[in-house]
């Protein structure tokens, strides 16, 4: 999944992780046109579009807004789901979030990811559960002929 980390010196949402986004330009005939360049999010009305692209793209950042592009595996996101306590503008609250490689993803971005992961459950294989601590891992025995 491709996400961006906003610059820490911004007035709004500084340092937060979000989907690549921008407003629909007049030359975008429909929202899917906008989504080919970025995710459309304005006035909290969010129209996510999902597509598959190869990993390792050469991203063009908006240097005024973005300081990093993150490419996070869906499996890592699913395994990183948690609840966390945050404080914003003097208000403390608990929220669902994802923590992947020290990146905290919360808010609308986390809610969109949760919805996507729920819908993609059938195509994202789950990791096998870890064996209980203190017990040896079963090994396969080979027969000799």
Query: Measuring CA to CA, which residue among 79, 76, 28 is closest to residue 49?
Result: 28
Residue 75 in this model has a pLDDT that exceeds 60: yes
Q: What is the mean pLDDT of the chain?
A: 80
Q: Which two tokens stand for residue 42?
A: 């304005």
Instruction: With H, G, I as helix, E, B as strand and everything else as coil, classify residue 93.
Output: strand
CA-based diameter of the chain, in Å?
73
Q: Which pLDDT tens digit goes with each residue over 110-144?
A: 999 999 999 888 776 666 665 666 655 555 444 44
Note the pLDDT tens digit of each residue in 4-36.
Answer: 999 999 998 899 999 887 666 677 777 666 655
Residue 102 reports pLDDT greater than 60: yes
């Amino acid at each position: 999944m491709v996400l961006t980390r906003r610059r820490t010196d911004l007035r709004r949402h500084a340092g937060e992780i979000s989907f690549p986004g921008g407003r629909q330009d007049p030359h975008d005939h429909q929202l899917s046109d906008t989504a080919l360049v970025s995710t459309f999010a304005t006035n909290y009305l969010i129209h996510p579009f999902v597509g598959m692209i190869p990993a390792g793209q050469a991203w063009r950042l908006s240097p005024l807004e973005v300081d990093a592009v993150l490419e996070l595996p869906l499996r890592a996101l699913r395994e990183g789901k948690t609840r966390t306590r945050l404080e914003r503008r003097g208000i403390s609250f608990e929220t669902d979030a994802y923590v992947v490689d020290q990146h905290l993803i919360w808010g609308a971005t986390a809610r969109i990811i949760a919805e996507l992961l729920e819908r993609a459950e059938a195509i994202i294989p789950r990791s096998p559960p870890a064996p209980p601590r203190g017990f040896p891992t079963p090994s396969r025995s080979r027969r000799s002929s």
